[in-house]
């Protein structure tokens, strides 16, 4: 049987149309993975921080009273971004692709695993001193072909943010989830 037909049957007629059948189908073999990865996903939606849809899927643009929400931090202000989507694999995976493209547009890359376990770091300051602060340990940002991590700290109730070269904390190259 043609592989496209197998994929079509699994992804269209399998009773559970959630992301589970998508991930199971995708790992059957390399050729099938390619077919699954080349489905027409919607990658163009950026997460919102306000005016969140609670009964409308932003992927297929249809009403859905049982909406799921993909929530992710997208900028250094720390505010969450939300994409509303249906529970089916197409809308779910589209939401994930949209999130990844949003990150890429901001030159942010998700790591396969955190570069360190803790989000506590020592932050070097431009005056030569150091202080304790926090970092995002699950992503890096690319600036002029160099990797940086997001850090922040508090001083007199103000929040300060700074990008620190990843090499300050580890000699290892980052393992990026999606190139």
* Site residues for Zn ion per CB under 5 A: 57, 59-60, 86, 91
The residue among 36, 90, 39 whose CA lies nearest residue 62 is 90
Query: By C-beta, is 67 or 139 nearer to Zn ion?
Result: 67
Query: By C-beta, is 85 or 102 nearer to Zn ion?
Result: 85
Instruction: Give the shortest CB-59-to-Zn ion separation in angstroms.
Output: 5
Instruction: Give the shortest CB-130-to-Zn ion separation in angstroms.
Output: 48
Instruction: Give the shortest CB-121-to-Zn ion separation in angstroms.
Output: 39
Instruction: Give the shortest CB-86-to-Zn ion separation in angstroms.
Output: 3
Residue of this chain nearest to Zn ion (CB atom): 57
Query: By C-beta, is 89 or 115 nearer to Zn ion?
Result: 89
What's the CA gap between 147 and 41, in Å, rounded? 29
What's the CA gap between 112 and 60, in Å, rounded? 29
Decide if 82 contacts 48 (C-beta within 8 A).
yes
* CB-based contacts of 160, cutoff 8 Å, min separation 6: 152, 153, 154
What's the CA gap between 37 and 22, in Å, rounded? 10
Query: By C-beta, is 61 or 167 nearer to Zn ion?
Result: 61
């Amino acid at each position: 049987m043609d592989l496209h037909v197998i994929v079509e049957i699994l992804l269209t007629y399998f009773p559970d149309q959630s992301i589970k059948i998508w991930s199971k189908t995708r790992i059957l073999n390399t050729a099938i993975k390619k077919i699954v990865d080349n489905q027409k996903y919607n990658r163009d939606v950026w997460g919102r921080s306000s005016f969140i849809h609670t009964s409308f899927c932003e992927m297929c643009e249809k009403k859905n009273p049982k909406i799921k929400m993909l929530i992710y931090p997208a900028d250094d202000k720390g505010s969450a971004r939300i994409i509303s989507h249906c529970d089916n694999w197409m809308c779910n995976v589209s939401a994930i692709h949209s999130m990844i493209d949003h990150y890429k547009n901001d030159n942010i890359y998700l790591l396969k695993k955190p570069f360190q376990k803790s989000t506590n770091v020592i932050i070097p300051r431009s005056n030569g001193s150091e202080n304790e602060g926090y970092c995002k340990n699950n992503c890096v940002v690319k600036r002029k072909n160099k990797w940086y991590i997001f850090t922040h700290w508090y001083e007199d109730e103000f929040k300060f943010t700074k990008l620190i070269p990843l090499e300050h904390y580890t000699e290892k190259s980052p393992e990026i989830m999606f190139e």
